[in-house]
Amino acid sequence: MKRIIFIWILVFTALSTIAQQPFVSSYQDSINKKRLVTTIGIGTGIYLTGLSYLGFVWYKDHELVPFHFYNDSKGYLQMDKAGHAFGAYIESYSAYKALRWAGMDKKRALIYGGPIGLIFQTPIEIFDGLYEGWGFSWSDMAANTFGSLLFTTQEAIFDEQLILMKFSYSPSKYPSHHSALGESHLESFFLDYNAQTYWLSGNLRGITGSKKIPSWINIAFGYSANGMIHEFDNPQYYQGKPFPHLERYRQYLFSLDIDFSKITTKRKWVKNIYQAINLIKIPFPAIEVNKMDGVRLRPIYF
């Protein structure tokens, strides 16, 4: 589960890269050498730092073993896979935007920037396959590929993101049951999958073609899960006492959302804020479907 921390480090770095890029409504297909060097330098630095962290910090207490595989496709009710896809999506998104900002034309920016999410996360799987207690996961690779392709194919075909991948977080009650989910709010943010929701947020006007719909209104489908302590099942005992039964179940959510990139404003600093937060799902009423409650209305869902 600690692998998700490294993925989130890459995500936050990608988000900060997006936030620092001046908002532009269109890009010039003329290379700005200073911007390009800055973009490549930052990307290379992140990549090498990540590899060094994996090799010298993360796995330092694990024994090097022959390359092997690990099937975790059912782990955490696939919430881990959603996290991998989201991380790859944002990394590809930020790499492409950075290259376009540097003046690279769309075709080359997609070729070099589109696969970045997959490229950045692949070393995690390779290292996992070489160390005891882990293993190379094909399902993780599939999720990484999906995230990068979701961005790249839309940008190539539509020249925009009709379907954004978004994230929302609301603290759950489960860390109070077990320290594996974090002993502080910061740790729980990374380790508690019960508190995370991943969304596909589609632009209604772009999808339907109807100009009667405001350009900034999206409809969102969310996926989350509850009752999870460990990867595949929950403990029977904890700290020498019987552990209470927690039902593990999936949650499917339907809600409205906002595409902030479609909101018109003349203030550049506001546009930059919109650009940075557009991958976060806003709190809004939602319809939830799960096996425990059936269909329920959530007056506000974070």
Note the pTM of the prediction, 2 decimals: 0.91
Residue 38 to residue 33: CA distance in whole angstroms: 8
Residue 55 to residue 40: CA distance in whole angstroms: 22
Mean pLDDT of 27-39: 82
Higher pLDDT among residues 205 and 10, named by residue:
205
Q: Which of 220, 216, 224 lies closest to 285, judged by CA?
A: 220
Tell me the per-residue pLDDT of 230-253, one tens digit each, with 9 for 90 and over: 999 999 999 999 999 999 999 999
Diameter of the chain by CA atoms? 66
- Residue found by looking up tokens 């709190």 in the block: 283
Please list the alpha-helical segments (H only) found in 192-291: 204-208, 268-277
pLDDT at res. 20: 55
pLDDT at res. 61: 78
Tell me the pLDDT of the chain averaged across its residues. Answer: 89
Contact criterion met (CB below 8 Å) for 110 and 156: yes
pLDDT at 23 over 70: no
pLDDT at res. 12: 61
Q: How many Cβ atoms sit within 10 Å of the Cβ of residue 22?
A: 10
Mean pLDDT of 14-20: 58
pLDDT at 85 over 60: yes
Residue 62 to residue 125: CA distance in whole angstroms: 15
Q: Which two tokens stand for residue 133?
A: 């207690």
5 falls in which pLDDT band (50, 70, 90)? Answer: low
Tell me the per-residue pLDDT of 287-297, one tens digit each, with 9 for 90 and over: 999 999 999 99
Contact criterion met (CB below 8 Å) for 97 and 164: no
Mean pLDDT of 107-129: 92
Q: Which of 250, 249, 248, 251 lies closest to 235, judged by CA?
A: 248
pLDDT at 2 over 80: no
Residue 152: C-alpha distances to residues 117, 158, 272 (Å): 10, 10, 22
Report residue 217 CA to chain centroid gap.
Answer: 21
Residue 201 to residue 257: CA distance in whole angstroms: 7
pLDDT at 188 over 70: yes
Mean pLDDT of 110-138: 91
* Phi and psi torsions of 131, nearest 5°: -125, 145
Residue 199: C-alpha distances to residues 82, 184, 202 (Å): 9, 25, 9
- Residue found by looking up tokens 């890009």 in the block: 27
Q: How many Cβ atoms sit within 10 Å of the Cβ of residue 88?
A: 34
pLDDT at res. 134: 87
Residue 137 to residue 120: CA distance in whole angstroms: 15
Three-state DSSP class for residue 31: coil
pLDDT at res. 21: 57
pLDDT at 53 over 80: no
- Amino acid letter, 181: L
Higher pLDDT among residues 44 and 137, named by residue:
137
* Phi and psi torsions of 5, nearest 5°: -65, -45
Three-state DSSP class for residue 234: coil
Contact criterion met (CB below 8 Å) for 172 and 195: yes
Report residue 93 CA to chain centroid gap.
Answer: 11
Residue 295 to residue 279: CA distance in whole angstroms: 27
Higher pLDDT among residues 81 and 20, named by residue:
81
